[in-house]
Amino acid sequence: MSEQTNGTENTEQTARVVRGVIAREKGAPVELTDIHIPSPGPNDVIVDIQACGVCHTDLAYRDGDIADEYPFFLGHEAAGVVSEVGEEVTHVAVGDFVVLNWRAVCGECRACKRGEPQYCFSTFNASKPMTLDDGTVLTPALGIGAFADATLVHEGQCTKVDSAADPAVAGLLGCGVMAGIGAAINTGEVKRGESVAVIGCGGVGTAAIAGAKLAGASTIIAIDISDEKLDTAREFGATETINSAELTKSDKGTGEEDPVVKRVRELTDGFGADVVIDAVGRPETYKQAFYARDLAGRVVLVGVPAPTMELDIPLADVFSRGGALKSSWYGDCLPERDFPMLVDLSLQNRLPLEGFVTERIGIEDVDEAFETMKAGKVLRSVVTL
């Protein structure tokens, strides 16, 4: 993995100057400014961005919740066309329509060598930095930086997909939608005829519901505090819905007696779900997931908890219930396998990816989109260029 020192000056020769969105300091509004892109290194490519989804991760970068290596070059959930390649690039060619990913696997680390590249410990980014007018080096969000007319990435961060796909739709596979679908089909290994419960029906949770339907689950239970989100969940495949806020108004039970747990069991013949996916990532929702599963069932944590959160579950309960407790990173995806497959399924009208695009916005509207996202009004706002 190449290392770039942020905030310092760089003298690399500029190949292109493009518009891009940066976060200059913690909590400050984002800025639309000129970004200098150098000529590609041997294994780098320049991608002309056509669309980029507005993800919670970009907001976390802006607000300093991930790192403090300002200025950040925001955007990562993107699709576009390769416009220039380094001399040793073989993975893609100029003119290819690609979805960007933040897991360009190395093929050499212990995870890759044991046949689990989805856990690669040494993913690649571009070898050269992108900069501001004064030479200040930018830190690209998740090694990409795609709220821009173009960006520089490692060739392994590009996955070629069918060019018939809408860029605004295909680009969503670059992060949140893939995280949710993958939590169901890859991490959760949902099988035809199984029952699945999903706690939290934002973008990732709704994608998990779509993934469960794609896998052939017979009962798909959506759980959220918003009736509006639950209605949307039904559009993506939920067969049952639970408004957890309404249930817990009068019943304050916990563990086995949690009203959400009891309702999931009622909907699964008294057993609990085969797979429960926690797309929230809080101790209380994880406990619900733990107790709402059937004996030997699977729990998948895809919601990202805060570093200070702690979990308290009796160890005897962990032992006696069996099964598997899993975490899902990026949906445990392999971009080269999963992105083309999911795009093809979308083009065949077997996976409603277009339903995740709530609104299309301009590159100057990113901060406003962050506020809309925080208010829970969208599945995805997508910057189109």
Per-residue model confidence as pLDDT tens digits over 17-45: 999 999 999 989 999 999 999 999 999 99
pLDDT band at 171 (very low <50, low <70, confident <90, very high): very high
Question: Residue range 114-124: average pLDDT?
Answer: 88
Predicted confidence at residue 11, as pLDDT, reads: 58
The CA distances from residue 366 to 74, 100, 166, 369, in Å, are: 10, 19, 20, 5
Quote the pTM value: 0.93
Please give the pLDDT value at position 5: 46
Angle at 357 between CA 370 and CA 225, to 5 degrees: 65
Domains in the chain (CATH in brackets) are 14-174+352-384 (3.90.180.10), 180-329 (3.40.50.720)
Confidence band for 253, pLDDT divided at 50, 70 and 90 = confident
Per-residue pLDDT at 4 exceeds 70: no
Give me the count of residues in the chain. Answer: 385
Q: For residues 265 and 255, what is the distance between their CA atoms, to the nearest angstrom? A: 13
What's the whole-number mean pLDDT along residues 243-251?
89
* pLDDT at residue 1 in the model: 42
Q: Would you say residue 8 has pLDDT above 80? A: no
Distance of CA 265 to the CA centre of its chain: 29
**For residues 235-241, average pLDDT:** 98
**Percent of the chain whose predicted confidence (pLDDT) is above 90:** 88
99: pLDDT strictly greater than 90: yes
User: What is the overall mean pLDDT for the chain?
Assistant: 95
Six-digit token string for 182? 């993958």
What pLDDT is stored for residue 131 in this prediction?
A: 98
Distance between CA 146 and CA 187 in Å, rounded? Answer: 27
Q: What is the pLDDT of residues 296-338, one digit of tens each?
A: 999 999 999 988 999 999 999 999 999 999 999 999 999 999 9
